[in-house]
Amino acid sequence: MKSFDLLVIGGGVNGTGIARDAAMRGLSVCLVEKKDFAAGASGANTGMIHGGARYLLHDAKVTKLSCLDSGYIQKIAPHLLFRIPFLVPLLPSGHEMFDKAYAYGVECYFEEYDRYQPLKNGKPHTRLSDAELHELEPGIVEATFGAVTMDEYGIDPFRLCTLNARSAAEHGAEVRTHAQVTRVSPGWLLELNGSETVKATAVFNAAGPWAPKVAALAGFDLRIRPGKGVHVTLDRRLSNYGIICKAIDGRDVFVMPHEDSSIVGTTDDDFYGDPDEVTVSHDEVEYLLTAVERTFPAVRQARVLRAWAGVRPTLFQYGPLEDRLSRDHRIYDHGEGFYSIVGGKLASFRAMAEEAVDVVAARLAKGARCETHRKPLPGGQRAAPAAEELSRRYDVPAFAAARLAYRHGAEAGQVLELADDQPDLRAVCCPCEGVTFAELEFSRTREYAPSLLDLRRRCRLAMGVCQGARCIGPAAGLVGDLQQARDLLDERWKGQRPVLGGDGLAQAELLQGTYFGTGAIGRAEAPWR
């Protein structure tokens, strides 16, 4: 039986972050994830390493930690972060005095936030006039009394988790995806997928919204207040800047550019169901679009590609409205070396992991100092090669080279070297997201991504404007398994279904015609025999 110092449950940003930190400190580590990296809340968020300006008033500790850690994350994964300046348009209330006071209040607020900006290399806020605002974003509703700006960063959260896990493995950790803990026995014997058993001195439960279930397997009671968050993806970068809008109930809703699309989000509602079965309704989509429309009417001109949802593992509190819940994190010591971590933000994952591993290291009286803030993640060692250079050297289209350089940083050349022996791999599989077969093959063989569903998260396969109409068949050719194409079609469809309407219907008709009409997918028998 394999035995480890620490077994980490959950392949989200907390689990992969803890596994990396512990492995770098010299602990023997096993990371197990029932599905895939970032398959839960870590992949269903806004994709931002933000400073948490929103928490300044009630949770300044969260803001400070997020800003501090954002600065570190920029250092260790420079290729993966992209700057998103935000606009906070100020809409008139009809009462001039109130508006003036409001603008003053907003500026004071962001002036306070400016104190944290240097931690994450952010620029201080600026005050824009109405004319300046419309020059930057002509699509914003007329007659504002200007805006305030703030600086934030976006990230590909799927890759962030993957790179943490890969780094953990490079430091000796055993990394297992599609490995679900099915039984926990004292002495910390953990049964995986109902068969094999591994042993660990300490266990860290970082299963996010599934953390209560995992704790229950070990006989511990853990309460969270799960909150469902819905986002929608638009078919283009609708704005140059992130824009902060007010929903009908006064909540902040953002529209922000992300990769080749824009994301609108998010909702925050108590969730009582199974986190494996979270779905989105038409009403939730309308809530978001209506919220943005009031400030940025152009949102209605975009085609909504899909809607998606995740469940936040928020700290348990009885009483406050969802939006007022603390975003702080907490580490629970259940005793006997079994710990859980819940709450927190994507932006502060590294600091949370450090805190978690400090606790384990103290118990085991083992482990060197934390290095995760200094050592780069894979691909972050050097500056990413220039897209033109990659394109010329490896004969791949420049647009695919550019996307590859973003996703893989310094490793981009290594990915394309796979095409030296197999020339077909330089072809582009997913034209929307610029994914070459070489990139798929790299992730398939070196990034724990055996299935197309996993490759979707690694490489943004089928995440673009056609939602897989072009790439799912060719990608199934690479993995040599048509069933995987069906699985990915179902997964993509789940997100399209609540938003199908308008121009999206033409895309759905094309996709359905390609796979179920022309492709006749699923018919394997020979009816004529």
Tell me which stretch binds other proteins (CB under 8 A): 19-27, 41-49, 183-191, 519-527.
519-527
Q: How many CB atoms lie within 10 A of CB 512?
A: 15
Q: How far apart are CA 308 and CA 292, in angstroms?
A: 17
Closest to other proteins by CB, 46 vs 514, is: 514
3-state secondary structure of 237: coil
Closest to other proteins by CB, 135 vs 424, is: 424
Q: How many CB atoms lie within 10 A of CB 359?
A: 15
Tokens (6 digits) for 184:
């926990």
Rule CB under 8 A: choose which of 44, 419, 435, 462 binds other proteins: 419
Q: How far apart are CA 72 and CA 92, in angstroms?
A: 39
Q: N- to C-terminal Cα distance for the chain?
A: 51
**143 belongs to the binding site for other proteins (CB under 8 A):** no
Tell me which stretch binds other proteins (CB under 8 A): 102-110, 141-149, 249-257, 510-518.
510-518
**402 belongs to the binding site for other proteins (CB under 8 A):** no
Q: How far apart are CA 453 and CA 462, in angstroms?
A: 10
Closest to other proteins by CB, 396 vs 410, is: 396
CB-based contact 182:191 (threshold 8 Å): yes
**501 belongs to the binding site for other proteins (CB under 8 A):** yes
Cα 467 to Cα 242, 381, 430, 460, 493, distances in angstroms: 23, 32, 10, 10, 8
Tokens (6 digits) for 186:
């004292």
Binders of other proteins among residues 278 to 297 (CB under 8 A) are 281-282
Closest to other proteins by CB, 210 vs 394, is: 394
Closest to other proteins by CB, 26 vs 397, is: 397
CB-based contact 29:206 (threshold 8 Å): no
Tokens (6 digits) for 322:
């969802």
Q: Considering only CA atoms, which of 509, 423, 525 is closest in space to residue 467? A: 509
Tell me which stretch binds other proteins (CB under 8 A): 57-65, 121-129, 130-138, 418-426.
418-426
For helices 482-496 and 452-459, the axis angle rounded to 10 degrees is 60
Q: Shortest distance, CB of residue 246 to other proteins, whole angstroms?
A: 23
Q: Shortest distance, CB of residue 249 to other proteins, whole angstroms?
A: 21
**502 belongs to the binding site for other proteins (CB under 8 A):** yes
Q: Shortest distance, CB of residue 486 to other proteins, whole angstroms?
A: 7
Rule CB under 8 A: choose which of 198, 214, 256, 489 binds other proteins: 489
Closest to other proteins by CB, 365 vs 526, is: 526
Q: Shortest distance, CB of residue 146 to other proteins, whole angstroms?
A: 34
Closest to other proteins by CB, 144 vs 496, is: 496
Start-end of H helices in 77-156: 96-114, 130-136
Interface residues with other proteins (CB under 8 A) are 281-282, 395-397, 419, 423-429, 437, 469, 473-474, 476-478, 480, 482, 485-486, 489-490, 492-494, 496-502, 504-506, 508-510, 512-529
